[in-house]
Chains A and B, each alone.
Chain A
């Protein structure tokens, strides 16, 4: 494997790990291990620097000329299956040391792996909303309302993600809708209260991967990435709170509840 090929492989693997919700430690560790499998030791001929929005890799070729690649993440999705597969791939590369073509084959296979179909995602949102409404003390009516609202949230999220909003705006819109719909359900007498409906449906908006990655980044000592993800999580939470607060305060005043 030449240094150019190594650069291509490591940047692809690192980039995919970043985009699919791996923590920084895993990204850097996988890339370093792959490089070391081909005799490029970190600190001597190989360096990697990753933060959530970007990854920079430098390899020194045979003549000592450095080659650098820098990639920005365009989209961030939650696809932990891909992270798992890439993890297995880097494990495999370390043991077998396959050639460039084989690795590229594996990478394109991982890219082609199926995700759950659209209706399953919508259904899972509904189930999360319904069960958490029960969990937070609602009855079956509240549960049904939260399930329906959560399913609609998943559609809204899909639509809103297309215009690439900030995390704050995204959660603001979703939670605004959640609270408004829940208060309306209460107003028309379908549910006995709106607290558990709002909490249950809003649980679908909780940025689980961001929170976990934030903690794991701090543990691993990647403070830059940790602060980045912490702010992302806090902004999401603030967006949720502001959206719900706005909807509740205006609607209860307007409807005289």
Chain B
């Protein structure tokens, strides 16, 4: 276990990949950098939680919460749609490896392993969704309260 392989390199890769994804979604360059920083944050939180011994679902949940807070905050400050940051930042979190492994176990005819992998994948996807849900719902409530007070 060392910090370089477990935290810094994945964060660096997700930074580069997030920039590239920003170009695919046609986001302007200065927003791309901000969004890519979101991708880095999600990855660092994920790796840190993993090193700290959290369960996989909790890692995904925490990382999703972190990028959600980051995107909502930045979007509010810069007056841009939240999606612009959230879409890019969430992509490094997509559990690509788990989906792939589920598929491979099915190809090899191991139905029990497939069921296990599928459960793990859906747990991860659900945890990401729950993280975004939790933060965005709270933000929505705050927005309604603030609008009513007319601040």
Residues of A that sit less than 8 Å from B by CB = 21-23, 26, 78-84, 87-88, 91, 115-116, 120-121, 123-125, 127-128, 131-132, 134-136, 195, 198-199, 202-204, 206, 208-209, 211-213, 215-216, 218-220, 237, 240-241, 244-245, 248-249
Docked-complex contact A83 and B84, CB < 8 angstroms: yes
The residues of B with any CB-CB pair to A shorter than 8 Å are 9-10, 13-14, 16-17, 19-21, 23-28, 31, 79-84, 86-88, 90-92, 94, 96-97, 99-100, 102-104, 106-107, 129, 132-133, 136-137, 140
Task: Kindly provide the distance from the CB of B102 to the nearest chain A CB, expressed in whole angstroms.
Answer: 8
Known: A83-B81, A120-B23, A127-B20. A212 touches B90 (CB 8 A): yes
Instruction: Given A84-B80, A216-B136, verify A248-B104 contact (CB < 8 Å).
Output: yes
Cβ–Cβ contact B87 & A209, under 8 A: yes
Report the Cα distance A70→B19, complex, angstroms: 37
Q: Which residue of A lies closest to B131 (CB)?
A: A215
Q: What CA separation (Å) do A143 and B137 show in the bound complex?
A: 39
Find out whether the CB atom of B27 lies under 8 angstroms from the CB atom of A81: yes
14 residue pairs bridging A and B, Cβ less than 8 Å apart = A26-B81, A26-B83, A80-B83, A127-B17, A135-B13, A135-B92, A199-B100, A204-B24, A206-B91, A208-B90, A209-B87, A216-B82, A219-B133, A241-B103
A156 to B: closest C-beta gap in Å: 15
The 5 closest A-B pairs by CB, nearest first: A124-B20, A127-B20, A124-B23, A135-B13, A131-B17
**B96 engages A202 (CB within 8 Å):** yes
Are the CB atoms of A116 and B23 closer together than 8 Å? Answer: yes
Q: Which residues of B contact A136 (CB under 8 A)?
A: 96-97
Nearest-neighbour CB distance to chain B for A194, whole angstroms, equals 10
A195 nearest in chain B by CB position: B100
Distance A121 CA – B24 CA, assembled complex (angstroms): 6
In contact, B84 and A84 (Cβ under 8 angstroms): yes
Chain B residues within 8 Å of A124, by CB: 19-21, 23-24
In the complex, the number of residue pairs spanning A and B with C-beta atoms less than 8 Å apart equals 140
Taking A87-B79, A219-B140 as given, write out 11 further A-B residue pairs in contact, using a Cβ cutoff of 8 Å, ordered by the A residue number: A80-B83, A80-B87, A81-B28, A121-B23, A128-B21, A128-B24, A131-B13, A202-B96, A202-B100, A208-B87, A208-B91
C-alpha gap A128/B94 in the complex (Å): 13
CB distance from A42 to the nearest CB of B (A): 15
B92 contact set on A, CB distance < 8 A:
135
Say yes or no: A209 contacts B83, CB within 8 Å: yes
- Find out whether the CB atom of B83 lies under 8 angstroms from the CB atom of A83: yes
Task: Report whether B20 and A125 are in contact in the complex, using a CB–CB cutoff of 8 Å.
Answer: yes
* B27 partner residues in chain A, CB cutoff 8 A: 80-81, 84
Q: Which residue of B lies closest to A26 (CB)?
A: B81
Whether B81 pairs with A128 at a CB distance below 8 angstroms is no
Q: Is the CB of A132 within 8 A of B137?
A: no
Query: Among A121, A195, A218, A249, which residue has its beta carbon within 8 angstroms of that of B133?
Result: A218
A212 to B88, CA, bound (A): 10
Name the A residues within 8 Å of B102 (CB-CB): 241
Q: A245 to nearest B CB, angstroms?
A: 5
B91 touches A203 (CB 8 A): yes
Complex Cα gap A136–B10 (Å): 9
Q: Which residues of A contact B20 (CB under 8 A)?
A: 123-125, 127-128, 131
Of all chain A residues, the one with the shortest Cβ separation from B15 is: A131
Whether B91 lies near A134 (C-beta < 8 A) is: no
Q: Which residues of B contact A135 (CB under 8 A)?
A: 10, 13-14, 17, 92
Residues of B within 8 A of A88 (CB): 79
Query: Nearest A residue to B94 by beta-carbon distance?
Result: A206
By the criterion CB–CB under 8 Å, are A248 and B107 in contact? Answer: yes
Cβ contact within 8 Å between A208 and B88: yes
B143 to A: closest C-beta gap in Å: 11
